[in-house]
Amino acid sequence: MTGFDSKRKIAQDKFPEDIGPHSTGVWRCHAGNHGEFLVSCESYGFAPIARVKGDKRSTLKAAKANAHLIAAAPDLLTALYAMMNSCFDPALTEGEAFEAFDLARDAIAKAEGFK
């Protein structure tokens, strides 16, 4: 667990009573049946977190892009925590700043379907 993961864990412990932390584990996007895309989490087996379908106004490409964006949500959240910590922590080392940048770049690539 990196320093950023532990800071994210602390932040997740402070959710309002009616909202808990999101599902843990890696979220993935994969093709389902009948033109739908599934977002699932490896910590919860095969039950999808989300089913994303196109409708009359969107295309299959848009549905796939939306599913990738949903699957990247935890990575984007981690990257935002890392970037915020790196911007406001004068004691942060250069290596930690580069780690924050790498987390952000990887999360963006996953959100856009490249990872």
Give alpha helix (H) positions in the chain: 3-12, 60-71, 73-88, 94-111
Tens digits of residue pLDDT in 24-63: 788 888 888 888 899 998 765 567 889 998 777 778 888 8
Q: Which residues contact 32 (CB under 8 A, 6 or more apart)?
A: 38, 48, 51
* Burial class of residue 39 (count of CB atoms within 10 Å of its CB; 0-12, 13-18, 19+): buried
Do 36 and 53 contact (CB within 8 A), yes or no?
Answer: yes
pLDDT in tens, 83-113: 777 776 677 777 877 888 888 888 888 877 7
The reply to whether the predicted model has a pTM over 0.75 is no
Q: What is the DSSP letter of 23?
A: P
